[in-house]
C-alpha cells in the first residue's frame, strides 16, 4: 500500500533499484510519462518524495499513484501539508502568501476527503537500505525541515548545520526542483529534481534512479503541448503561467538557485 514501508523489511525483500520521484505538483502527464518509463526499468521501490498534489491536476495525480501496484512509499511535502491544513480549515488567507493560498485553497477544493486523509498520514521521511550505498534517507527538503532551502550555492557552514548529526551516508531530497549532488561532511546529498515543475536546461520530467553501484539523474520527455493544453483547461488558478513557464518553458537551474539563495539569506 502506498505510504507504507515496514512490510518490505518484514518480507526480507532485497532492494536493488529505487526510483525517486519528487515534486510532481499535480502534473499528471509528466507523472504518467515517468511511470511508463519505469515499466521497463522495474525498480524494486518507488519513493514519491512529497509535493504531490499542489498543481493543476491534484486528485487525478494522487489517484494515479494510489493505483500503482508494487512497492511504493510516499512522503509528505510542505505543499501537501498546507493542502491538508487548508482542507481542515486550520489555515486561512493570512497564514500563507496570497498566491500560495489561492493555489492551496483550489487544490484543497479539488481533492476528496479520503485523499485528504491519505495525505495527512504520510510520513516526513523514510530510510531504506540499498546494497553498496548503504542506508539512504529520503526526505522532502532536509532531514529536519520540509521547507528549508539550500542549493550548490549555499555557503558550506550553513550546509553543515542543515545536515549535522545525520547518520545515513546518503540523503535524497527535493523541494527546490533542481537536480544536484553535494558532499557535506561525510554525507552524500542528492536532489532528485522535479517531475512536474523542474528547473533545468530543458523541459521534461526529472527524477533519480538509485542502484547498488550508485545514482543516475534522469530526464523523461513527454508531450509538452498536450500537457500544456490539459493544464490550460484544468481550472487551476495559475493555469496559463503553469503551462507556459513550467511545462513548455522552464526556468534554468541557475536562475532558480539565485532566487532561492536570496530567499534563504532574507530568512
- How do the pLDDT tens digits run along the chain, 267 residues long? 454 443 344 445 678 999 999 999 999 999 999 999 999 999 999 999 999 999 999 999 999 999 997 889 999 999 999 999 999 999 888 888 899 999 999 999 999 999 999 999 999 999 999 988 889 999 999 999 999 999 999 999 999 999 999 999 999 999 999 999 999 999 999 999 999 999 999 999 999 999 987 899 999 999 999 999 999 999 999 999 999 999 999 999 999 999 999 988 887
What is the model's pLDDT at position 12?
Answer: 55
The whole-number pLDDT of residue 94 equals 83
Asked if CATH classification 3.30.365.10 holds for the domain at 6-266, the reply, yes or no, is no
- The pLDDT of residue 7 is 38
In this structure, what C-alpha cell is assigned to residue 182?
553535494
Nearest partner of 185 among 125, 217, 143, 148, judged by Cα: 143
Q: What is the pLDDT of residue 38?
A: 97
Q: Are 208 and 215 in contact (CB under 8 A)?
A: yes
Asked if 46 and 19 touch (Cβ cutoff 8 Å), the reply is yes
Whether 70 and 119 have beta carbons less than 8 Å apart is answered as: no
DSSP E strands in the chain: the ranges are: 18-21, 45-48, 72-74, 125-130, 134-139, 170-173, 179-184, 187-192, 205-211, 214-220
Q: How crowded is residue 97: how many other Cβ atoms within 10 Å of its Cβ?
A: 10
Amino acid at each position: 500500500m502506498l505510504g507504507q514501508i515496514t512490510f518490505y523489511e518484514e518480507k526480507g525483500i532485497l532492494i536493488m533499484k529505487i526510483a525517486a520521484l519528487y515534486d510532481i505538483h499535480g502534473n499528471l502527464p509528466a507523472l504518467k510519462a515517468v511511470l511508463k518509463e519505469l515499466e521497463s526499468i522495474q525498480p524494486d521501490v518507488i519513493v514519491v518524495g512529497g509535493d504531490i498534489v499542489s498543481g493543476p491536476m491534484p486528485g487525478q495525480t494522487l489517484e494515479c499513484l494510489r493505483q500503482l501496484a508494487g512497492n511504493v512509499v510516499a512522503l509528505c511535502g510542505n505543499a501537501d501539508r498546507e493542502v491538508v491544513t487548508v482542507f481542515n480549515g486550520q489555515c486561512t488567507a493570512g497564514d500563507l502568501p496570497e498566491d500560495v493560498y489561492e493555489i492551496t485553497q483550489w487544490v484543497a477544493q479539488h481533492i476528496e476527503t479520503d485523499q485528504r486523509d491519505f495525505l495527512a498520514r504520510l510520513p516526513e521521511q523514510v530510510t531504506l537500505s540499498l546494497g553498496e550505498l548503504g542506508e539512504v534517507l529520503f526526505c522532502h527538503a532536509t532531514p529536519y525541515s520540509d521547507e528549508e532551502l539550500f542549493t550548490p550555492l549555499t555557503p558550506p557552514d550553513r550546509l553543515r548545520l542543515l545536515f549535522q548529526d545525520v547518520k545515513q551516508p546518503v540523503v535524497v531530497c527535493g523541494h527546490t526542483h533542481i537536480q544536484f549532488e553535494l558532499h557535506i561532511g561525510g554525507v552524500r546529498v542528492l536532489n532528485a529534481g522535479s517531475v512536474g515543475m523542474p528547473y533545468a536546461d530543458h523541459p521534461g520530467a526529472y527524477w533519480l534512479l538509485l542502484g547498488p553501484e550508485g545514482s543516475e539523474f534522469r530526464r523523461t520527455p513527454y508531450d509538452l503541448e498536450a500537457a500544456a493544453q490539459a493544464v490550460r483547461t484544468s481550472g487551476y488558478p495559475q493555469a496559463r503561467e503553469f503551462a507556459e513557464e513550467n511545462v513548455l518553458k522552464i526556468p534554468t537551474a541557475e536562475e532558480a538557485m539565485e532566487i532561492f539563495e536570496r530567499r534563504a539569506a532574507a530568512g
